[in-house]
Structure 1
Amino acid sequence: MSTALNANHLLYLLQGAGWTLGLSLIAFVGGGLLGLVVALLRISPVKLVRIATAGYVQLIQGTPLLVILFMTFFGLPALGVKMSPLAAAGLSLTLYVSAYLGEIWRGSIQSVPRAQWEAAECLALTRTQRMRLVVLPQAIRIATPPTVGFMVQIVKNTSLASVVGFVELARAGQILNNSVFEPFLVYLIIAAIYFSLCFPLSRWSQRLERRVSPAQRPADAVIAQPAALSIT
């Protein structure tokens, strides 16, 4: 590489940004699917299931993501499970995201007015039908703003994947800086790229929050009830 920052260096950083987005997508999809299971188990009628799931959430939330990355990348191979940097980073972020999204979605489900649950019971719907037809459609609307907001944290936390050798944006910047020796300029560009990725998500989350917040007023909850009851 040339020691002067040029277009090829910028292209290299953009390729790293592409891997950052890819890893963020893996973490969000995998963590979202597992997080939905966590959220549903957290409100299970079986007490033992609720306790076990709460323990999982507390364990993941109480452990730094960096430690989870080290345990996945260095610990699993000691048990005979080989992990590539991408697989280790994807698995670690999936576990991390699932704990937080699970709690976000659990809170959203439980914030649906109790009258909605009782009305569904009066219609003789099963628990699965109540969740699918009445509760979850309303919980999704409540959960969307914090979920989008948490996506910003996912994008930023992908930078920790560099510790296991995965070349995303932060790692690409480190490699580039070792070549051109211009840390201020290189990391200024990296910060600008992260900002361009995260700022639209932050603004989108704020707009969604303003749009959803009126629906959480008691009067609107009453208005929403006939719509929920009509899904039969």
Structure 2
Amino acid sequence: MQFQLAYSELQWSDLQFVLQGLWRTILLTVLAGVFGTLLGGVIGWARESSAAARHLLAPYVDVTRSIPLIIQFILINSAFAAFGSALEPLEIGVLTLSLYMAVLTSELVRSGLRSVRPELKKASRSLGMSYWQELRLVSMPLAVRTVFPGWIGTLIGLTKDTALVSVVGYIELLRAAQILITRTNEALLLLTGVGVAYFLICYPISHYSLAVERRMEA
């Protein structure tokens, strides 16, 4: 016996469903980007300024960078569920992506701080600056100029990585499109629309970053 799938056409109400997925993608990107950047900045500074912190945080950095992100979603979701503290899909997504973003940002921050010439640090301290003054007024501004292009690339990558959160039940942009494809069989149209939507999110970030870089160099 053969079964034939019954497809239905796209409707105007489907647009609202896709826009909700788009909003969830943007929300997840913003939350994970902010939390991950803040945490990564602290971790990067700690690993660069303290040998003890470097060795203590090395397992977290190495493990997070080595395990595929989709597996991290599943492991973190399963771990909370096993301890009876199941989180919402959005919470799992923000937590996992923030930890992942933090690792990538921390390595950028480390490289940025290392790029500051030791002579500048010594000159600042000889002028009477404390460690924190030198870090805030000299090292950090110079490091930010070095790190900024790489951080923008990391943020754009994070935006695309939000598509993996669907593995724990979060309906973001791509997952919303997949659900509609199953019902309508309009794969080409919907995936083209999803691609355009990701472009509209990522291109302004990339374009604006160029203006910021020019301002930094001026």
Preserved contact between residue 149 and residue 205 of structure 1 (Cα < 8 Å)? no
1:35 to 24, 27, 40: 40
SS across alignment from 1:43: helix
Write the deviation string for residues 169-198 of structure 1: whole angstroms up to 9, x where unpaired: 011111111221211211111111111111
- Residue 42 of structure 1 and its aligned partner are, at CA, apart by 1.2
Q: In structure 2, what is the equivalent of residue 192 of structure 1?
A: 196
- Residue 89 of structure 1 and its aligned partner are, at CA, apart by 0.8
> Given the alignment of the two structures, is residue 22 of structure 1 paired with residue 18 of structure 2, yes or no?
no
> Given the alignment of the two structures, is residue 153 of structure 1 paired with residue 154 of structure 2, yes or no?
no
- Residue 209 of structure 1 and its aligned partner are, at CA, apart by 5.0
For residues 213 and 8 of structure 2, the distance between their equivalents in structure 1, rounded to whole angstroms, comes to 46
Q: Equivalent residues in 2 for 1:119-198 (5 A)?
A: 119-198=123-202
Q: Partner letter of residue 180 of structure 1?
A: T
- Residue 205 of structure 1 and its aligned partner are, at CA, apart by 3.7
For residues 86 and 108 of structure 2, the distance between their equivalents in structure 1, rounded to whole angstroms, comes to 32
Query: Where does the alignment leave 5 or more consecutive residues of structure 2 unmatched?
Result: 1-6
For residues 53 and 44 of structure 2, the distance between their equivalents in structure 1, rounded to whole angstroms, comes to 11
Q: In structure 1, what is the equivalent of residue 11 of structure 2?
A: 6
Query: Where does the alignment leave 5 or more consecutive residues of structure 1 unmatched?
Result: 216-232
For residues 69 and 166 of structure 1, the distance between their equivalents in structure 2, rounded to whole angstroms, comes to 11
- Residue 110 of structure 1 and its aligned partner are, at CA, apart by 1.4
For residues 195 and 16 of structure 2, the distance between their equivalents in structure 1, rounded to whole angstroms, comes to 15
For residues 155 and 127 of structure 2, the distance between their equivalents in structure 1, rounded to whole angstroms, comes to 37
Q: Partner letter of residue 20 of structure 1?
A: T
- Residue 211 of structure 1 and its aligned partner are, at CA, apart by 6.0
Preserved contact between residue 31 and residue 96 of structure 1 (Cα < 8 Å)? yes
- Residue 206 of structure 1 and its aligned partner are, at CA, apart by 4.5
For residues 36 and 73 of structure 1, the distance between their equivalents in structure 2, rounded to whole angstroms, comes to 25
* Deviation larger for 5-14 or 107-116: 5-14
For residues 112 and 167 of structure 1, the distance between their equivalents in structure 2, rounded to whole angstroms, comes to 43
Aligned length: 212
- TM-score relative to the length of structure 1: 0.84
TM-aligned CA distance change 1:206 to 1:149, over 3 Å: farther
Q: What root-mean-square deviation, in Å, do the aligned CA atoms of Structure 1 and Structure 2 show?
A: 1.9
For residues 181 and 113 of structure 2, the distance between their equivalents in structure 1, rounded to whole angstroms, comes to 46
For residues 180 and 113 of structure 2, the distance between their equivalents in structure 1, rounded to whole angstroms, comes to 46
* Deviation larger for 10-19 or 138-147: 138-147
Q: Equivalent residues in 2 for 1:94-109 (5 A)?
A: 94-109=98-113
- TM-score relative to the length of structure 2: 0.89
Q: Partner letter of residue 15 of structure 2?
A: L
Q: Partner letter of residue 136 of structure 1?
A: M
Q: Equivalent residues in 2 for 1:26-105 (5 A)?
A: 26-45=31-50, 47-105=51-109
- Residue 31 of structure 1 and its aligned partner are, at CA, apart by 0.3
Q: Partner letter of residue 29 of structure 2?
A: S
For residues 177 and 101 of structure 2, the distance between their equivalents in structure 1, rounded to whole angstroms, comes to 25
Q: Partner letter of residue 7 of structure 1?
A: W
Preserved contact between residue 4 and residue 180 of structure 1 (Cα < 8 Å)? yes
